[in-house]
Amino acid sequence: MARLTGFTAAIVADLVARGEIKGEGLTPIEEAYMRNKAILNQVTNALRREGIKIYKTKTTIG
Query: On the CB side of 28, how many CA atoms lie within 13 Å of its CA?
Result: 3
Reported pTM: 0.75
Query: On the CB side of 49, how many CA atoms lie within 13 Å of its CA?
Result: 9
DSSP string computed for the chain: -HHHHHHHHHHHHHHHHTTSS--SS---HHHHHHH-HHHHHHHHHHHHHTT-----------
* Domain extent listing, the chain: 2-49
d(C-alpha 13, C-alpha 8), whole Å: 8
What are the tens digits of pLDDT across the range 7-24?
Answer: 999 998 998 899 888 777
Residue 48: pLDDT band (50, 70, 90) is very high
